[in-house]
Every structure is written in structure tokens, then in C-alpha cells.
């Protein structure tokens, strides 16, 4: 066997493999013997089929199979032993393979096109500067957040005169029929009652009465079903005039700043005074902002590194490889249209790998499982998983990592890997702090 590498340029090469009969004949002979022992052919006892017949029936197929296996192993071993850093995968010269005469040839030549990762250096010195935004938080924003939470966790209170958004409790009855619902509720918004009826309900007081046709009074059968307390299908039998007598009016009122409110927002006894509540809430908001600014910083670090490292890629080779590896899934036009995005992702992947190799960064299995545990806890809304459910957490995380034929494991691995690389980059370059308001930051994040 003879394997030679011919470099076309810094990012492309050709790998030529020449096989002689001595390279594959032992494997082919062994496989023919196995077929002879196992073959079940009419007219011959098991294991007594003449070798010449086995050769005639299966020889060509066995030869092709064994040569391909030897070829694949030899190419992979050569790439590994010579530490060739490839992008994409070797592309065989299909036309040359089609010219092979498997019936008569004893020696074979194969050729592969290779895409080579370029040699480059990544500057992680203090001369590299990236802006690290910090969102400023003033007292007014904390106050606004508290007011929104008070509205969100509002409590029902009694009202004398109905307004939009209130809930009317009362008796709904069929004027000339038997239907009655003495626990009916009408919510005064256009999702619950028709726009034409809403003005007639606003301004009502206790014991007021209003009449209407249910077919016209509700925007949908579901809304009518909620008002009548029966199934949507059953409402089709409700006809004629209905009356509604107001028994009470409730209005959502902002939650008071009391212990019940503090516990609902922060957890039991996390804060016991208004001042402590404001301080805890401020910490949470700042933490949320920090996660947002961290995400933008990571995005900017990545873009900065990709922008600064404009090394060449074997573009035409990669386009051919993408088209070949996605045969039937992508057209040449789709590959061309999506190539720039693919090239950016590939460039970032090469940069990450380079940084990790030069700085000894590795991802351990325990780091992957720990990240998965954290993801599961977030999904269930836990900050700390109950100790009694620890085995459940382990099982869920383990099943997730094994699912999708290992793709989930690779995805989490890459998350951890990227985070470690970006953390190292932060430590080495210069981060220029800049304070911005929340609105300005939103615009920056959208840019």
C-alpha cells in the first residue's frame, strides 16, 4: 500500500491511495472461507460448497467490501497519524472509482480531496478591547417593577359600580324558559362578552338587571359556556331573551405590600419588611440584567474573534462537501445561500479549538452532567432540587444525555466548552466597562 499527500495550497490537498493485491488478498480469502462454511446452497452439504462456486457467486462483492473497509481504515489512520486537521470530510474521486474493473484488476488507485484547516494564531492580549455593558438600575425602576408585580398578583376587592375589567357575579336566567344559573360570572372585557353588550354592563350596581339575547351577547360559544356553566355544545339549545341580575361586583386591586405578597414573590420569609423586600428585588433585577449583559458580551466576544481572524477556508471544497453530505436534502442553490452562515460557524469552531488547545482547556464528563442537572432544575423551576428527589434528577439528566443518539450530550458538551473558552477570553483581553440604561441596552442587544 502506498499513500501520498499532495498539497494544492494551504487549505486544500489530494490524498492518493494505491492498493496492491497483497494488501487485501488475506482478508478476501478469509471471508471466502467463512462464506464457504456457512453457505447453504441446494445440492451441497453445509461446508462442502466448492471454493470456485463461492468465488463465482460472492467473490466480487466480497472484494469490493473488503477493499472499501481497508481503504476507509487506511485513510483514517493516515489522517490521524499525520495529524491532519481537516474541515469537512474526505471527498472521494467518484469518477475514478467508476472506472475500476473489479473482475480483472489486481491493483487499485483511489483519490480523495481534503479540506485543511488553516494555520493561524489568536491574539488574546490586553490590546484586544471589547465593551462590557452594565445596566444601571435606579430607584424608580425598582418602584415600577413593584407596581407591576402588585398588579400581576392583584387580589379581588368589592366595588359598588361596575367598570371595565371587573367581574359581575349574579343570576343568569332564561326569561321564557327553565334555564337558570345562580352562580354566573361575567368578566367585563371583550374576550368574555360582546363589544355591543359591554357598555350596558359598565355602570351597573348590585341588584341591577340587564336583558340580552345570548346569541348576540358573547363573542364565542366558549365565552357563552363560561357564563352559563354548561358545555359549548349544550349552549346551542339556549334561545330567546335572558336576564342577568347583579349579585356582587369584584375588582382586581393591587396587592398590598404585606407578608403574603413578599412570600409569593420571593418565597416564604425571604423578606419580612418593605425595605428588605426592595433590597432583595433589586438584587434579583441586577442578577437578571447581568445575565442579559453576559449574553451580549459573549456574543460580542465571539463576533470580535471571528472578525479579527480572517484566515482562508477551502470554500469551494466545503460547498461540494456540504452538497454531497446532504444529498437529497439541499440543492446547490441552498448550499450557496447558506454558506456564509456555515463558514462563520466553522470559523468560530476552529477559533474555539485553537484557544482550548493552546491553553489546555478540557471538558470533563462530570461538567457535562452537572450542566445537564442545572438545565433540568431550571426547567422544573427549582433553584435547589429537593434531596428526596435527587435520584429522580439523576435519572432525568441521564436519560436526556442518552437521547437523540448522543446529540443531546454533544450539545451540552459544546455549551460547556464554549463557556470555558469565552471565560478564558474575558480573563485575557481588556473589557471596557460601560454603564447604559435599560432601554439603551435593549437597542444594543437587538443590533
Per-residue pLDDT reduced to its tens digit, 157-181: 999 999 999 999 999 999 998 899 9
How large is the average pLDDT for residues 15-19?
95
Query: Which bin fits 16, alpha (ψ -120 to 50), beta or left (φ > 0)?
Result: beta
Q: Tell whether domain 129-136+280-435 is in CATH 3.40.190.
A: no
Q: What is the mean pLDDT of residues 385-389?
A: 69
17 grid coordinates: 491511495
* pLDDT for residue 37 is more than 80: no
Mean pLDDT score, 61-71: 92
Predicted confidence (pLDDT) per residue in 226-236, tens digit? 998 889 888 88
- Is the pLDDT assigned to residue 44 strictly greater than 80? no
List the chain domain ranges. Answer: 2-115, 129-136+280-435, 155-253
Q: Say whether pLDDT at 5 is over 80.
A: yes
In this predicted structure, the answer to whether residue 199 has a pLDDT above a threshold of 90 is: yes
- pLDDT value of position 384: 67
Domain at 2-115, CATH homologous superfamily? Trigger factor ribosome-binding domain (3.30.70.1050)
Q: Is pLDDT of 49 > 80?
A: no
Which pLDDT belongs to residue 94? 85
255-303 confidence digits (pLDDT tens)? 999 999 999 999 899 999 999 999 999 999 999 999 999 999 999 999 9
Return the CATH architecture of domain 155-253: Roll (3.10)
Q: Read off the pLDDT of each residue in 315-337 and give the average, rounded to a whole number.
A: 94
Q: CB atoms < 10 A from the CB of 300, how many?
A: 15
pLDDT for 377 equals 86
pLDDT value of position 386: 67
Amino acid at each position: 500500500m502506498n499513500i501520498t499527500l499532495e498539497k494544492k495550497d494551504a487549505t486544500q490537498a489530494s490524498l492518493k491511495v494505491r492498493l496492491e493485491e497483497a494488501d487485501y488478498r488475506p482478508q478476501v480469502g478469509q471471508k471466502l472461507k467463512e462464506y464457504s462454511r456457512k453457505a447453504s446452497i441446494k445440492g451441497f452439504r453445509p461446508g462442502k460448497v466448492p471454493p470456485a462456486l463461492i468465488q463465482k457467486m460472492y467473490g466480487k462483492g466480497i472484494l469490493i467490501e473488503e477493499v472499501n473497509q481497508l481503504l476507509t481504515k487506511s485513510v483514517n489512520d493516515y489522517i490521524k497519524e499525520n495529524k491532519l486537521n481537516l474541515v469537512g470530510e474526505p471527498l472521494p474521486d467518484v469518477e475514478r472509482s467508476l472506472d475500476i474493473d473489479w473482475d480483472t484488476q489486481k491493483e487499485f488507485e483511489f483519490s480523495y480531496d481534503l479540506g485543511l484547516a488553516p494555520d493561524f494564531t489568536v491574539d488574546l492580549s490586553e490590546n484586544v478591547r471589547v465593551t462590557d455593558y452594565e445596566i444601571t438600575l435606579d430607584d424608580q425602576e425598582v418602584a415600577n417593577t413593584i407596581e407591576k408585580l402588585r398588579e400581576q398578583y392583584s387580589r379581588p376587592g368589592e366595588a359598588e359600580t361596575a367598570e371595565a375589567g371587573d367581574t359581575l357575579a349574579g343570576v343568569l336566567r332564561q326569561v321564557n324558559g327553565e334555564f337558570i344559573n345562580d352562580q354566573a360570572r361575567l368578566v367585563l372585557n371583550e374576550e368574555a362578552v360582546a363589544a355591543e353588550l359591554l357598555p350596558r354592563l359598565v355602570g351597573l350596581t348590585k341588584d341591577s338587571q340587564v336583558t340580552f339575547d345570548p346569541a348576540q351577547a358573547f363573542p364565542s360559544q366558549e365565552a357563552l359556556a363560561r357564563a352559563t356553566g354548561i358545555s359549548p355544545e349544550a349552549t346551542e339549545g339556549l334561545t330567546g331573551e335572558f336576564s342577568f341580575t347583579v349579585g356582587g361586583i369584584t375588582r382586581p386591586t393591587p396587592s398590598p405590600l404585606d407578608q403574603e405578597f413578599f412570600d409569593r414573590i420571593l418565597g416564604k420569609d425571604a423578606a419580612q419588611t418593605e425595605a428588605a423586600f426592595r433590597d432583595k428585588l433589586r438584587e434579583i433585577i441586577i442578577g437578571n440584567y447581568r445575565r442579559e449583559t453576559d449574553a451580549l458580551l459573549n456574543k460580542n466576544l465571539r463576533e470580535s474573534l471571528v472578525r479579527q481572524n480572517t484566515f482562508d477556508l477551502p470554500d469551494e471544497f466545503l460547498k461540494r462537501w456540504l452538497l454531497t453530505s446532504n444529498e437529497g436534502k439541499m440543492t446547490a442553490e441552498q448550499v450557496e445561500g447558506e454558506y456564509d452562515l456555515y463558514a462563520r460557524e466553522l470559523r468560530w469552531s476552529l477559533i474555539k479549538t485553537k484557544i482550548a488547545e493552546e491553553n489546555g482547556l478540557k471538558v470533563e464528563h462530570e461538567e457535562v452532567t452537572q450542566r445537564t442537572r442545572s438545565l433540568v432544575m431550571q426547567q422544573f423551576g427549582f433553584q435547589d432540587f429537593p434531596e428526596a428527589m435527587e435520584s429522580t434528577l439523576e435519572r432525568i439528566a441521564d436519560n436526556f444525555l442518552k437521547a437523540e443518539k448522543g446529540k443531546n450530550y454533544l450539545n451540552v458538551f459544546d455549551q460547556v466548552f464554549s463557556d470555558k473558552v469565552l471565560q478564558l477570553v474575558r480573563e485575557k483581553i481588556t473589557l471596557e466597562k460601560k454603564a447604559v440604561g435599560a432601554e439603551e441596552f435593549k437597542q444594543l442587544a437587538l443590533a
